[in-house]
Structure 1
Amino acid sequence: MRVVTSDSGSVSVGNQYTDELENPDTSDDAEFWRKEASVPRFAAAPSSGRWRLRVCVAVGVTALMLLLLIITLSVSHVKFDRKFSTTDTKIKNLTETLLSIITRTNFLEESGHKMHLDINNLEFDQETMQTRMNDMSDSEQALRDKVSELKCRIEKYIKNNTQELCCPEGWLLFSTHCYFFSKDGMPWDAARDECEKKRAALLILNSKQEKNWVVSNTRPLFYWLGLTDGRTGEWEWLDETPYVFVRSEWMPGQPDNWEYHGLGGGEDCAHFHHDGRYNDDHCSRHYRYVCKAHASSI
């Protein structure tokens, strides 16, 4: 409502409305409402074609992932089946091998028991045979002695000589002893034992004359004699009689107890060298040997 006073003093009252567009308000509130009015209340919805495309892509990706998962599971299943089949085959093979081992073990146990009995019997038979062989050896040696004695008597009767001493066949007589010069070689210990079997001893020298005679039958070959330092480290004869060391009886630089022959240990046994002098050597060497025994009287 608006009141107007004229110059004449009259007052006129009238109604007058003013449009907001004609009278714009420049306040902040008015500006705010204008901005609100310029922004649409609802966004425009995407088109149906684009929505369908997105759905198809999502379904395709999902299907592809499922397909890959199925393929992976199938491959894993095949590999597992193969491994299981291989493992099952190995278990069967191991089972068969174990059964075979058990069977073989039982057989060996039975055979071993039987073999043990056979070995015991064989050992008993071997001992019996060895005893018989020893008895036969003693009997053979006694028979040889008798034959040698008989031969000596016959020779004495034929030659009509006064010889009263005799040696076994194949032995040589010197003074009051008989000497056996072997044709084959063997270690020193074996030679000692072989002489004992012949009821003799590995050569022990008692005089220079005896040595000269023996050397005349050994040159130029190597022969063991009963001289050793293996028992005490000092040279002695087999009957433990001390040896009186004479340098001229040994080869130059001997005895040297040489240890670089590769046979273990030193050199503890003496033998005749090619010129009849002594040399020490490893007792395992295969040399000929000389046995010495008392001559038998007739």
Structure 2
Amino acid sequence: MLARTTDISEEASTDWPLRPRSRPLLTLGEMVVLLIALLIPACGGLYRADYYSRFVQGTCTITSGDVTSVLHHVKNGSDYTTYAPSFFYIVSAPGTSGVDSSGYDGPDHTTFYDETEAQDIVNQYAVGTTTTCSYNPANPHEAFLIFQGYSQERAWSVFWWSLFLTGLAQIMITLLIWYLWVRKLMILHERGQLTRGHVIRHETRQSKNGRYTVSIIEYTGITILKHPIRGELTGPGYLSLDRPIPVCYDPYRPTRARRGDRPTRLHICGAIIATLLLLVSISAFACLFTFLLV
């Protein structure tokens, strides 16, 4: 019954507000913002490919070498240690008297489960040895004795995987919140009708953090076809029984309702800002991997 559509004559005869006008600019803006949020982290691989393509070959003089170890803690208690060769060296870069740097390989770093494998690599580079290396001419401090580079194939692979995974996260989280929260506030602000509900009972529910109590608020309203409806909302558990609660509902879809008065523009702006912050957070988290780690 609630899903039935009406024509303009029905709407006019019931004296309800007309359906919201079409907002092509709002829809276009939503698509543009989401596209930007998807493309920025997806371009991380392309950025890294361009960045590492600027490295040039030079020479480095080894000043010291050692094996570093990292202890990895696992929840089930099966801790393990990885080992990696580590060197300090002086990069011979034009226009400098030598730049101190450290590390071994990059942009990917090799680790071993056997310390002797890492020690074998350290033994290959005696102190005082001059060997070829690759460094960033804009920042010679960033140099690698072994440079794997960053291929275009890898960059595009990161692009498509990031676009898929980030898009999946944005659709499941950001878009869901946008349409269930922000759009709901917009609709109720424009055509919401006010009624009065009452707390009819309390319920105890279970969550991961324990048990909690909610208040069940019952409200009645009228659809655009003059049909009475009855709905329920949840509220905080401290509300007393039979307490009157203002409810704002959508006459075109009475199950779309909220506790309280009709939303103001301030409510809508706050919801938009909160959703955009969530969008930025997800994109920033994705950028952490595509720009720095992948």
Q: Report the structure number with the largest CA radius of gyration.
A: 1
Fold match (TM-score > 0.5): no
More helix per residue: 1
TM-score range normalised by the length of the shorter chain: under 0.3
